[in-house]
């Protein structure tokens, strides 16, 4: 008697629940399988490339000295792109969510989202045919007045420099970062904002006291998503950047720039054979690991900060 009563009280499981639970579990597992698959492929194919002797690959170098300039270029490009894009993204998001009239803010939001729909090859074309030539006088000016800073050495005559590539990358990662920041800013509890204003805060102080602390982890997540795209962006960089193999330079406005890992693979894969292909895949593994590390670091940052953010 009692057992039948217990079963009757248990919540009924409908077929829909089962199907949906199965689907979502399957999707979760699928992500792991794909990630593991990519990781295993990169490792298995990459190891011969890492171990290859200099005379067996086209670069004629050991793996580490060969891949180091690429890692340097990748990190420099992504970091500067992020430095340019984060303040702009926060500013635009704040404008849309708190400053602009509601109607105008909406239109602005659409326009920003539109930027995200532009394919990277179009950004590449824009970079090489429009932005680069127009940056030349600016670079000459930088070199003339600020050449004591090592970033602004001998300027390029075509403007196809790593700084131009960074600007293109910054524009490309702007939409996703703005969209996330905007959503987070809009979720700031109304009471927090009103409390700040009631204490006599100006609008900027209100943003600083109520919105930013609340949104901090969201802003970091947005920046990490942007960084991920900047690290992995291939085509736009390959088109815009003038690269010299093995170059490591602080000069951001010169003709000789280090390539990025992704762009280097795209440029050299077509004509590579044998172990040179393995070396390229190994450099892909390095990018994979860098992206992982960056994400872990970001997670750690968000976790550590979340106690003070007021988001919980």
Partner 1 sequence: MNRNPLRYAAPTAAALVLALSLSACGASNESDSSDGASTGAAKVTGTLNAGGSTAQQAAVAAWTKAFQTTNSGVTVNYDPVGSGGGREQFIAGGLQVAGSDAALTDDELAKAKTKCKSDVVEVPTYVSPIAVIFNVKGVDKLNLSPKTLGGIFQGTITTWNDAAIKADNPDATLPATKITAVHRSDDSGTTQNFTDYLDQTSEGAWTGKAVQTWPVKGGEGAEGTSGVVAAVKGGDGTIGYADESQAGDLGKASIKVGSDFTAPTAAAASKVLDASEQVSGRAATDIAITVNRKVTDSAVYPIVLVSYQIACQKYDDKAQAALVKAWLTYVTSADGQQVAASSAGSAPLSSAFVTKAQTAVATIAGA
Contact residues toward partner 1 (CB under 8 A) are 14-16, 19-20, 23, 58, 128-129, 132-133, 136, 156-160, 238-239, 241-247, 255-256, 259, 267-268, 270-273
CB of 16 or CB of 101, closer to partner 1? 16
* Residue among 38 and 198 whose Cβ is closer to partner 1: 38
CB of 267 to partner 1, least distance (A): 4
The least distance separating partner 1 from the CB of residue 110, rounded to whole angstroms, comes to 27
CA of 37: how far to CAs of 40, 217, 247, in Å? Answer: 5, 30, 33
Looking at the DSSP bridge assignments, the partners of residue 51 are none
Query: Do the Cβ atoms of 241 and 162 come closer than 8 Å?
Result: yes
Choice between 3 and 273, CB closer to partner 1: 273
Q: Closest approach of Cβ 157 to partner 1, in Å?
A: 4
Q: Min. distance of Cβ 154 from partner 1 in angstroms?
A: 9
Alpha helices in the chain (DSSP H): 2-9, 15-51, 63-94, 102-116, 120-126, 132-146, 162-186, 190-198, 203-206, 212-232, 235-240, 261-268, 275-309
Residue 91 or 274: the one with the smaller Cβ distance to partner 1 is 274
97 vs 260 by CB, closer to partner 1: 260
End-to-end CA distance of the chain: 46
Q: In DSSP terms, which residues pair with 243 in a beta bridge?
A: 257
Q: Shortest Cβ distance from residue 261 to partner 1 (Å)? A: 14
């Amino acid at each position: 008697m009692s057992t039948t009563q217990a079963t009757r009280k248990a919540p009924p499981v409908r077929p829909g629940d089962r199907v949906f639970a199965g689907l979502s579990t399957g999707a979760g597992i699928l992500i792991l399988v794909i990630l593991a698959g990519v990781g295993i492929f990169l490792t298995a194919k990459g190891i011969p490339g890492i171990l290859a002797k200099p005379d067996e690959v086209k670069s004629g170098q050991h793996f580490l000295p060969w891949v180091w300039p690429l890692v340097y270029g990748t990190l420099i490009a992504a970091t500067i792109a992020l430095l340019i894009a984060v303040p702009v993204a926060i500013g635009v998001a704040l404008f849309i969510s708190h400053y602009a009239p509601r109607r105008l803010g909406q239109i602005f939001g659409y326009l920003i989202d539109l930027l995200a729909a532009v394919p990277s090859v179009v950004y590449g074309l824009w970079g090489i045919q429009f932005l680069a030539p127009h940056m030349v006088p600016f670079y000459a000016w930088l070199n003339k007045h600020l050449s004591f800073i090592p970033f602004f050495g001998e300027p390029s005559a075509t403007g196809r420099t790593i700084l131009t590539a960074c600007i293109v990358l910054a524009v490309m990662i702007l939409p996703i970062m703005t969209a996330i920041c905007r959503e987070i800013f809009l979720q700031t509890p109304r009471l927090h904002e009103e409390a700040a204003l009631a204490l006599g805060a100006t609008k900027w102080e209100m943003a600083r006291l109520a919105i930013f602390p609340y949104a901090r982890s969201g802003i970091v997540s947005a920046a990490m998503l942007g960084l991920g795209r900047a690290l992995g962006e291939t085509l736009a960089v390959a088109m815009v950047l003038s690269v010299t193999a093995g170059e490591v330079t602080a000069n951001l406005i010169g003709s000789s720039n280090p390539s990025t890992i992704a762009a280097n693979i795209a440029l050299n894969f077509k004509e590579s054979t044998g172990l040179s292909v393995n070396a390229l895949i190994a450099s892909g593994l390095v990018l994979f690991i860098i992206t992982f590390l960056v994400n872990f670091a970001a997670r750690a940052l968000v976790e550590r900060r979340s106690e003070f953010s007021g988001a919980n």
